[in-house]
Amino acid sequence: MPYYRVITPKNALSYEQRQKIALGVTDVHCDISAAPRNFVHTEFLELDESGSIPDNRGRGIKPFDTKYYIAGRNRAGRTDDTISRILNGMLEMFCDITGVDANEVSGDIIEGKASWTMEGGHILPEPGEEPPSWYEADKVLAN
């Protein structure tokens, strides 16, 4: 957690673009939220045509009307402004890397309680309450 699905048409992105986007998703999310970098997960989902995907809650269908879509799921507890900044940062980063027009990409971020999610066998702390040990992997990644 957080978990981002980047939905694209089939074969729309190269491996290099995917790598840059995955790093960009991590950078945007962590720069704004201060979450540990190892929390962030990115999945790329290719569709034959745009329109809808199973929603992040697994209870229905998430419709969208753009060619590209970023669907995020994060821990609850952040302000609307923070969520908006994360989403807008994701969309801008995606357009910068891919050259896709901003009118062709949209997205949303939904939230769930941290206590409903486990990471590495541990229940996640609420945003901003991560103990220092949760950032140890970030130090390893930086070296």
Q: Residue 124 falls within a domain, yes or no?
A: no
Q: Is 80 part of any domain?
A: yes
CATH code where residue 7 lies: 3.30.429.10
Write down the H helix ranges in 1-143. 15-33, 80-98, 136-142
Q: Is residue 126 part of a domain?
A: no
pLDDT score for 62: 67
Cα(74)–Cα(5) distance, integer angstroms: 12
List pLDDT tens digits, range 43-100: 999 987 656 666 655 666 666 788 999 999 887 888 899 999 999 999 999 999 999 9
Tell me if 140 is assigned to some domain: no
Look up tokens 């801008």; give the residue: 92
Q: Does residue 125 form part of some domain? A: no
Model pLDDT, residue 52 = 64
Q: Answer whether residue 10 shows pLDDT above 80.
A: yes
Calculate what percentage of the chain has a pLDDT beyond 90: 49
- Asked if residue 135 belongs to a domain, the reply is no
d(C-alpha 119, C-alpha 121), whole Å: 5
In a domain, 105, yes or no: yes
Quick one: tokens of 114? 């941290």
Long-range contacts of 23-28 (CB under 8 A, 24+ apart): 24/90, 24/93, 24/94, 24/97, 25/90, 25/93, 27/93, 28/86, 28/89, 28/90, 28/93
Instruction: Give a yes or no: residue 127 inside a domain.
Output: no
Domain span at 111: 3-119
Give the pTM. 0.79
Question: Count of domains in the chain?
Answer: 1
